[in-house]
Structure 1
Amino acid sequence: MKLDAVTEKTGLIGHPVAHSKSPEMMNEAFRREGLPWVYFAFDVASEELGRAVAGLKSLGFRGWNVTIPHKVAVMEHLDEVEESAREIGAVNTVIHRNGRLIGTNTDGAGYLESLVRETGFDVKGRRVVILGAGGAARAVGYTLARAGAEQIGIVNRTEKKAQDLADHLRRWTRADGISPGEADTAIREADLLVQTTSVGMHPHPEGCPVDPASLHKDLLVSDLIYHPRQTRLLQEAKTRGARVHSGLGMLLHQGALAFERWTGRQAPVERMGEVLEQVLGES
């Protein structure tokens, strides 16, 4: 890739970011589409966030993705936040347009696109349990509620956070905060289980966030972790006859949606997925 004064710049800010596979995926997308664009990853400490955002704007970056722990804090440094991101309460994509910084969130839409494409699951009228109450859970919960889920239960170690998210989701569906002690019963009655926490992520793949005995053959188990591809939760689900869905698709489709917002072009999704498969296979 030729880099010069007219190269358009995009990237990722978070802390840490060394593990991210987004640069490989996004740079291949730009290359495939013949765009003179480049994607960087920047490790930004929380106390430097405001200065980092101002610097990216001053340097003419066309946009950037935002990951943990900045998805909420970045909002105060933007000129505008789109309605869906305001409802979710987090921004994962910033668009620099006409001197203004606009925040949006492609996590939820990327998750739903992946879920439907890979499993054919129709969320309308279904019962959902979400493990976790952080930014990813908020994005997924909002999107599933708007898509017609009949009921959503939120399980979180801090029960108040679970209840707060459930209270928010009641604008669109029935929702309840569920204590960890009641999680098994809720999962046994659910159609879809969505795991949004870090339990089971590399380098601690032995972790499982639920009692495997609660998993059943009528359940679709969706784990947002993509490294490893087959978490212990997904392995346990498969042995009990449940369908499974890994987090790689969400990473792919949220990135594709960001690409389209920045460039105005359709993303080369198939090629982006091939690159992710390759780099994750090498890690």
Structure 2
Amino acid sequence: MRRRVITSSTGLLAVIGHPVAHSVSPAMHNAAIAAAGLDLVYVALDVVPASLPGALDGLVSLGLRGANVTVPHKQAVMSACVDLTATARAVGAVNTLTVTDAGLVGDNTDVAGFLAGLGDLVVDRAVVLGSGGAARAVVAALVGRGTTVTVVARDPGRGHELVAAVGASSSTVAVTAVDRTEHVAAAVAGSDLVVNATPLGWHGERLPAPLHELHPGQLAYDCNYASPPSPFLTDARRAGAATVDGLEMVVGQAAAALQGWTGTAPDVDAMRSAARDELAARADGGGEGS
């Protein structure tokens, strides 16, 4: 294999977050960069919240091409952007920054990433657990496909904020509290898709009981990626439901970001393989987000 040479002309890309040690983004992006023969390198930068303004200035000053953004910065970076894409505005969060002559432009490729995991599946009704940035991207993606969604939130107030943020109507997106067990159970029973858009399961936690009561013909989608699979996905498989873990969403959002930065369609298979190899090499494996 030919050795890559990094020079002063090599373009720099990054992911910023806190923490970022779990991120598979460097492995994915560098695999795609190598496959395409691009003169770029992608690194992970741990940025504590207090240092975020300086770090964002540094992206411009140091001449980076762009950066992915993961927790906890997806909303905080918005105020530093000179422009936002329509998707970023709809979601109310940014996971991809492009450095331009005018400054930082914010986008959200989590929507594309989530949809990549769904493929051509037709979803009439869905249940989404969560009300944070990942849930906003998921709900925005589903509403865009014409899906009727029930948001299950620990704090219904935040759930209603999500509905307003994505510009959905109450007839399209309903909100219920996670402790309203009968409502949650009825929504799950009548859904085609149940999505965990919270960090729950990252360390083996179980979701509230009704969210585990799936049946054949349904799809369980966990926005986390973990090895071994989360209890949510394990239970779904035992019940005969299909499953998708968050690795597909992570690969999909990364591919969309890289194509936006370079104008080149990346080798998605190479990205997926690199991410899986990275996770397999870790003793604890897994993570949430980029």
1:247 is the counterpart of 2:246: yes
Q: CA contact under 8 A between 2:90 and 2:167: conserved in structure 1?
A: no
Q: Distance in 2 between the 1:261 and 1:210 partners?
A: 40
Is the Cα contact below 8 Å between 2:95 and 2:108 reproduced in 1? yes
Deviation at 1:13, TM superposition (A): 0.5
1:61 is matched with which residue? Answer: 64
What is the aligned counterpart of 2:162 among 165, 177, 180? 165
Native 8 Å contact 1:169 1:175 kept in 2:
no
The residue aligned with 2:99 is: 96
- Please, what TM-score do these two structures have when normalized by structure 2? 0.91
Q: Deviations over 1:19-54 (max 9, x none)?
A: 101111111111111111011111111111111000
Q: Which runs of 4+ in 1 moved over 4 A?
A: none
- The answer to which of 204-213 and 96-105 deviates more is 204-213
* Structure 1 CA distance for aligned equivalents of residues 212 and 72 of structure 2: 33
1:171–1:84: structure 2 CA closer, same or farther, 3 Å change rule? farther
Equivalent pairs: percent with the same residue?
37
Output the amino acid matched with 1:96. V
8 Å CA contact 2:126, 2:149 repeated in 1: yes
Query: How has the CA–CA distance of structure 1 residues 229 and 87 changed in structure 2, closer, same or farther, with 3 Å as cutoff?
Result: farther
Aligned letter for 1:60? G
- 1:3 maps to what in 2? 6
Structure 1 residues 99 and 3, CA, compared in 2 at 3 Å: closer, same or farther?
Answer: farther
2:93 aligned with 1:80: no
1:211 aligned onto 2:206: no
Q: CA RMSD in A?
A: 1.6
| Cα distance in 2 for residues equivalent to 1:136 and 1:199 | 12
Aligned to 1:24: 27
Amino acid at match of 1:21: V
TM-score (normalizing by structure 1): 0.93
* Structure 2, unaligned runs of 5 or more: 283-290
Q: Deviations over 1:116-137 (max 9, x none)?
A: 1xxx4123xx011100010010
Cross-structure match for 2:174:
176
Alpha-carbon contact 2:135-2:197 (below 8 Å) kept: yes
1:158 and 1:208 map into 2 onto residues whose CA distance is 16
Alignment partners' CA distance in 1, 2:169 and 2:79: 24
> Could you tell me whether the CA contact under 8 Å between 1:14 and 1:66 is conserved in 2?
yes
Range with greater deviation from structure 2 (3-12 or 228-237): 228-237
Moved more, 218-227 or 168-177: 168-177
1:29 partner SS:
helix
Which residue of 112, 115, 125 maps to 1:112? Answer: 115
Query: Where do 5+ consecutive residues of structure 1 fail to align?
Result: none
Cα distance, 1:252 vs structure 2:
0.5
Partner SS, residue 211 of structure 1 = helix
Measured in 1, the distance between the counterparts of 2:155 and 2:208 equals: 14
Q: 1:57 is matched by which residue type in structure 2?
A: V
Output the amino acid matched with 2:200.
V
Aligned partners of 2:79 and 2:278: how far apart in 1?
34
Amino acid of the structure 2 residue aligned with 1:189: G
What is the Cα deviation at residue 169 of structure 1? Answer: 4.6
CA displacement, residues 169-214 of structure 1 (integer Å, 9 cap, x when unaligned): 524961111111221221111111011111110xx21433443663
